[in-house]
Amino acid sequence: MKKIIEFIRKHDNIFMFIILFLITSSYVFCIKLEANDQLWNFSNIYKMTNGYTIYKDLNVIITPLYFFIGKIAFSLFESNYLVYSIYQNFIIYLLLFFSIYQLMKKMKIRKINSALYTMIISVIMITIMPEASYNILAILFSIIGIIHLLSSKNRYIDNMIQGVIYFLIFMTKQNTGVLYILGSILAQILIQKDKKISIKNISQQLIACWIMILGYLVYLKYNNNLYNFINYCFLGIKEFSQENLVVKPKNVIFILMASIVSIVSIIATYKKRIPLEQIQRKNIKILGSISCFMLAISYPLLNDAHTLIASVTFMILFSYMLDIMILRELLNGKKVEIAKKVIILILGIIFVIINLCNNLTYFIEIMDEDYYFSNDSPYYGAIAKKELVKEINEITKYIEKENQNRTDVKIISCYSNLYMNVLNKNNGDMDLPFSGNMGQNGVNGMIAKINNLKNTKILILSNEKDRHYQESKRIFKYIEENFEKEGKIGKFSIYRVK
């Protein structure tokens, strides 16, 4: 038994990778086909793989790295939901959780405690939000950035690496990038006594980042796509913030409390009466500074998912504070050591069982002869209700029939991509008519586009309750008041534009 424990301790990275593999793969294949973030992000990558251009053809409102990586995955393997889910829900989450474990160890938390804290954070995240996204990819790069900051030696090469990390985060999600950069700058000012050195380091990092961003802007300009990028990623921000504010009191309270704890933790490092080692003070300053800014990611969508994303750095800070101030002493006895190993073992066994049950059920369903999506379908690998599969077939056949009669069909709804992906069609803003997703001209611009349509049938959801809260009511009201209703198909009302 001692030899086994010693082997695990020596090869803890492999052991932890396997544990995290079991946790993430337990949920990766629970892929339901619905009109949600997973569909909309998949659709953008799928359309890019089929020749459409981000920003020029697709109303993507974030920077493009997540979608470029997804396009590479689709080009190398298959363009379907199965590959997408492995990329999004498995690889990104697995790398994030493993990076959190490495960060814990970097801060000199004992391996077994690091494993326990990482598993708790992983289970919390994957339970509340089974699907990862560009948000999680940006957080992954942020964790890598923090690991690098902890070991940075003020060398030129260190500043170049941190500059590259700035660029990666910004190119994955622009607001996360800005917030991480601000947190990193504050952290470096706090931990560096010589302010001239900190200013030099920060300047080199920012210059490296800006040179790479400038390179991308030149690329966009060369491809006549610069204005589209600026329009969707920046000029629609005001409308997005005004129209999509979501406030859950419990989440507001949590963010406020987490902000206070982050600030107090930084202040505590300046109190000599608090028994902290120098390295611990440095770690807290770095984590606390970045946590303060990253918590702002939750605005304006203060729902459970965005609150969770915003609080990842805080959860790591909180775990570290508990460990060095309280738990390190409490969790050090022989009996406690055995208890921790038993807990990790039990959690591992639980996730082996969950993994087998979920994945066996999933693969039995998609390998069944009656599975509803063929191998060449974009939705191969997804689980869908039979009613939805029937509806997709009905709507796509209707669109094909109308196109044969030289009548265009536009579905102005967040459900649109369910059908457009099958038809390999794209209608730009109309496929996701969210407030803030339509650039500088916003809702007025969309109404102008609708007015310019000729010989077109517009489909909108008949029941207001089926519409997404981010969809503009003004657009639907305008269609209902200005165009002739021709009938219904499925859940949609049909309006005729002559």
CB atoms within 10 A of CB 177: 23
Binning pLDDT at 50, 70 and 90, where does residue 2 land?
low
Q: Is the pLDDT of residue 301 over 80?
A: yes
Q: How far apart are CA 420 and CA 411, in angstroms?
A: 9
CB atoms within 10 A of CB 332: 11
Helix (H) or strand (E) holding 393: helix 386-404
Q: How far apart are CA 486 and CA 368, in angstroms?
A: 40
Q: Is the pLDDT of residue 327 over 70?
A: no
- Per the DSSP assignment, residues forming a β-bridge with 496 are 457, 484
Q: How far apart are CA 401 and CA 398, in angstroms?
A: 5
Q: Is the pLDDT of residue 209 over 70?
A: yes
The mean predicted confidence, pLDDT, of the chain is 92
Q: How far apart are CA 171 and CA 216, in angstroms?
A: 10
Binning pLDDT at 50, 70 and 90, where does residue 237 land?
confident
In this structure, what DSSP letter does residue 11 have? T
Tell me the mean pLDDT in the region 167-180.
98
Binning pLDDT at 50, 70 and 90, where does residue 431 land?
very high
**Selection from 386, 190, 186 nearest residue 296 by Cα:** 186
SS3 300: coil
Binning pLDDT at 50, 70 and 90, where does residue 100 land?
very high
Query: What is the reported pLDDT for 320?
Result: 96
Query: What is the reported pLDDT for 325?
Result: 82
Query: What is the reported pLDDT for 402?
Result: 95
Query: What is the reported pLDDT for 332?
Result: 63
Reported as a single tens digit per residue, the pLDDT across 361-414 is 888 888 888 899 999 999 999 999 999 999 999 999 999 999 999 999 999 999
Of the chain, the percentage scoring pLDDT greater than 70 comes to 97
Query: What is the reported pLDDT for 471?
Result: 93
Start-to-end C-alpha separation, the chain: 79
Q: Is the pLDDT of residue 8 over 80?
A: no
Q: Is the pLDDT of residue 343 over 90?
A: no
Reported as a single tens digit per residue, the pLDDT across 35-59 is 999 999 999 999 999 999 999 999 9
Helix (H) or strand (E) holding 351: helix 334-366
Q: Where are the alpha helices (DSSP H) in 223-327?
A: 226-230, 237-243, 249-268, 278-294, 304-310, 312-322
CA distances from 162 to 45, 174, 266, 469 (A): 28, 16, 22, 38
| Torsion sign across C-alpha atoms 202, 203, 208, 210 | positive
SS (H, E, C) 40-98: HHHHHHHHHHCCCCECCCECCCCCCHHHHHHHHHHHHCCCCHHHHHHHHHHHHHHHHHH
The answer to whether the CB of 294 falls within 8 A of the CB of 176 is yes
Q: Is the pLDDT of residue 328 over 70?
A: no
Reported as a single tens digit per residue, the pLDDT across 74-92 is 999 999 999 999 998 889 9
DSSP string, 403-446: HHTT-EEEE-STTHHHHHHHHT---GGGGS-BTTSS-TTHHHHH
Binning pLDDT at 50, 70 and 90, where does residue 433 land?
very high
Domain ranges of the chain: 1-135+333-384, 386-497
Residues 6+ apart with CB under 8 A from 470: 243, 244, 414, 434, 435, 436, 437
The answer to whether the CB of 76 falls within 8 A of the CB of 22 is no
Tell me the mean pLDDT in the region 144-148.
98
Work out whether strand 484-489 and strand 492-497 pair parallel, antiparallel, or are unpaired. Answer: antiparallel
The answer to whether the CB of 381 falls within 8 A of the CB of 363 is no
On the CB side of 465, how many CA atoms lie within 13 Å of its CA?
0
Query: What is the reported pLDDT for 334?
Result: 64
Of the chain, the percentage scoring pLDDT greater than 90 comes to 74
SS3 332: coil
Tell me the mean pLDDT in the region 193-206.
94
Q: How far apart are CA 66 and CA 283, in angstroms?
A: 29
244 versus 94: which is more confidently predicted?
Answer: 94
SS3 percent helix, strand, coil of the chain, rounded to 5, is 70, 5, 25
Tell me the mean pLDDT in the region 477-482.
94
| Torsion sign across C-alpha atoms 413, 135, 61, 475 | positive
Q: What is the CA radius of gyration of the chain?
A: 25
Binning pLDDT at 50, 70 and 90, where does residue 494 land?
very high
